């Protein structure tokens, strides 16, 4: 094994991918385990990498990261198409997370406003939501989820179409 000095970011520079995509590739190949921000190296991953840590002189304590041998790049099987697909999937996942957060905020707002309406219609006394108000809230939440799903689906289709067009343009210019 050569020098164990490459981080996921540095591997990404070499294969033209983000560190996030590199970490997904490492997970996919079974070389790491964990979640973003907290990856460990599996037994099979120890052939290519080591876990490092350093104590920082701040309130955050110990900082940990993984270093990889350059030979891990061949193991990842990171074709440009695979990198593009993973990058697209990450963008869609981020968009879905943003939409879910917005839908959650909208649901909280609708519930808050329904409570206010209920409070006013009860003459100021606190009461529960009526069946009609609950139905409105459920319908609004359902519409938000459906709209979010449609937007995500359209975004994935558009991303794949643009990537295919880019590959075509690149092939045309290579000729």
User: Where along the chain do its domains lie?
Assistant: 4-76, 80-174
Give SS3 for 29.
coil
1-19 pLDDT per residue, tens: 455 689 999 999 999 999 9
Q: Whole-model pTM above 0.85?
A: no
CB 1 within 8 A of CB 48: yes
CA-CA distance, 72 to 76, in Å (whole number)?
A: 6
pLDDT at 69: 94
CA 105-106-111 angle, 5° bins: 100
CA-CA distance, 3 to 71, in Å (whole number)?
A: 10
CA-CA distance, 69 to 3, in Å (whole number)?
A: 6
89-115 pLDDT per residue, tens: 888 888 888 888 887 888 788 778 777
């Amino acid at each position: 094994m050569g020098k164990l000095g490459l981080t996921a970011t540095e591997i990404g520079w070499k294969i033209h991918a983000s560190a996030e995509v590199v970490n997904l590739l490492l997970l996919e190949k079974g070389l790491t385990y964990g979640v973003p921000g907290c990856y460990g190296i599996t037994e099979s991953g120890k052939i290519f990498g080591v876990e490092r840590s350093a104590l920082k002189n701040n309130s955050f304590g110990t900082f940990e990261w993984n270093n990889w041998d350059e030979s891990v790049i061949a193991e990842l099987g990171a074709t440009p198409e695979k990198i593009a697909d993973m990058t697209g999937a990450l963008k869609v996942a981020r968009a879905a997370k943003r939409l879910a957060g917005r839908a959650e905020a909208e649901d909280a707002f609708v519930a808050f406003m329904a409570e206010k309406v209920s409070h006013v219609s009860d003459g100021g006394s606190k009461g529960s939501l009526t069946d009609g108000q609950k139905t409105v809230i459920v319908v609004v939440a359902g519409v938000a989820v459906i709209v979010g799903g449609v937007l995500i689906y359209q975004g994935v289709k558009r991303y794949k179409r643009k990537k295919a067009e880019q590959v075509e343009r690149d092939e045309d210019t290579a000729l």
